Structure 1
Amino acid sequence: MPPRSPQRIRLSPERRASLLAALQRHFEDEFDEPLSAFRAEGLVDFFVRHLGPPVYNQGVKDATGFLQEKLADIEGEITEQDDGR
């Protein structure tokens, strides 16, 4: 069995079904055109494969920046408390 790619996004069956239904509704509402389950699955696979990794990476980058800011705040508070004693 080949090793798993860390960039591969996996959807739970529930999440996948929800996305498929939402995509089919979107096509019906926006384009007045039905989208078959087969085509919807192909589109979901395409978007997950091509958009999943960059969106995931951006989320990790944003979370890292947020945590770095919080750690800098904590470090500043500790420094202030040490200077005041």
Structure 2
Amino acid sequence: MTEIRFSKDETDRIVDKVKTYFARELEQDIGGFEAEFLIAFFAKEIGPYFYNRGLADAQTVFREKAEEAGYLIDELEQPTN
């Protein structure tokens, strides 16, 4: 799997969410560097679980849509008497 990279804006928003979570839920202030380090850890160690779940969900949707398309194609079939 390729390393996921976020834009500066995305990274800033993610860091802000982590800092806000720590402040509200844990009553701890952490800096931007610490938040980025934590994000990198989660991305490396836990990210693949979310990534794989996303792929599995996409495969399910693809299978369902392919089956739907199969039915639609069957409806187009012409009689051959």
CA distance in 2, matches of 1:28, 1:37: 13
Within the candidate set 20, 26, 37, 1:42 is matched to 37
RMSD: 1.8
Q: Which runs of 4+ in 1 moved over 3 A?
A: none
CA distance in 1, matches of 2:78, 2:14: 54
TM-score by length of 1: 0.79
The number of equivalent residue pairs is 80
Within the candidate set 42, 49, 52, 2:47 is matched to 52
| Aligned residue runs from structure 1 range 1-80, under 5 A | 6-80=1-75
TM-score by length of 2: 0.82
SS of equivalent to 1:19 = helix
- Check conservation: 1:24, 1:36, Cα contact below 8 A: yes
Gaps of 5+ in 1: 1-5
Question: Does 1 or 2 have the higher relative contact order (CA < 8 Å, sep 6+)?
Answer: 1
Structure 1 residues 53 and 9: CA distance shift in structure 2, 3 A: farther
CA distance in 2, matches of 1:58, 1:7: 16
CA distance in 2, matches of 1:78, 1:38: 55
Structure 1 residues 32 and 70: CA distance shift in structure 2, 3 A: same
CA distance in 2, matches of 1:7, 1:60: 14
- State the Cα distance separating 1:32 from its structure 2 match: 1.5
